[in-house]
Amino acid sequence: MTTQLVIFYFFATVLVASALAVITLKNSVHAALSLVLTFFTAAGIWILAEAEFLGLALIVVYVGAVMVLFLFVVMMLDIKPESMREGFIRFLPVGVIVALVMLVEMLSLIGVKALQAQALPPNPALADGSNTAWLGKALYTQFLLPFEIAALILTVALIAAVTLTLRKRSGVRTQKPSEQVQVQRNERLRVVKMASEGKPGESA
């Protein structure tokens, strides 16, 4: 148990430090990498709390896919740190107001929850042995409708994102791989039988 506690404090320290690094580092690629570390450590803490499915899903989805694409974009943009600082003072009041509103909202949420504080019911996942199996059963029986609605919304968002960025450009010559791979030998190559030719004076 104490080993777990030591590991938890280690993870928690790394988590807080890397989260701070995300917003303080000047280089945007370094900041994105700190975000990767933040996600990874958060997943570690969740696994430590025996929520292995959520922890691994966080790594697969966010670290393995979302952050790779994020890093891809950040690297391509080649943002100069100086240009990032421009208008810092000008936008500071807006930022402070947004931060304050968020703080008040969070505090009120926690306060409301604290007023109705009650003992948590025993963890249903532990009774079953496997967290993953329990999560699957709960999602596909008890919460089937919300789950399907969430899936539908995500699909719609995906299609919308693709249609928004899809532009039909006319007059562009592009390769069509689906046609290219169907090419036959006969269409490209013709073997011609002919008599051999020599330079003038040479015998054929």
Binding site for other proteins (CB under 8 A): 2-3, 5-6, 29, 33, 36, 52-53, 56-57, 59-60, 63-65, 68-69, 71-72, 75-76, 130-132, 175, 177-178, 180-181
Taking the complex as a whole, how short is the minimal distance between the CB of residue 72 and other proteins, in angstroms?
A: 5
Q: What distance in Å separates the CA atoms of residue 71 and residue 33, rounded to the nearest whole number?
A: 8
Taking the complex as a whole, how short is the minimal distance between the CB of residue 170 and other proteins, in angstroms?
A: 20
132 or 138: whose CB is closer to other proteins? 132
64 or 81: whose CB is closer to other proteins? 64
Taking the complex as a whole, how short is the minimal distance between the CB of residue 109 and other proteins, in angstroms?
A: 31
5 or 156: whose CB is closer to other proteins? 5
89 or 127: whose CB is closer to other proteins? 127
Read off the tokens for 198.
């020599």
Q: Helix 28-48 vs helix 2-24: angle between axes, to the nearest 10 degrees?
A: 160
Taking the complex as a whole, how short is the minimal distance between the CB of residue 145 and other proteins, in angstroms?
A: 19
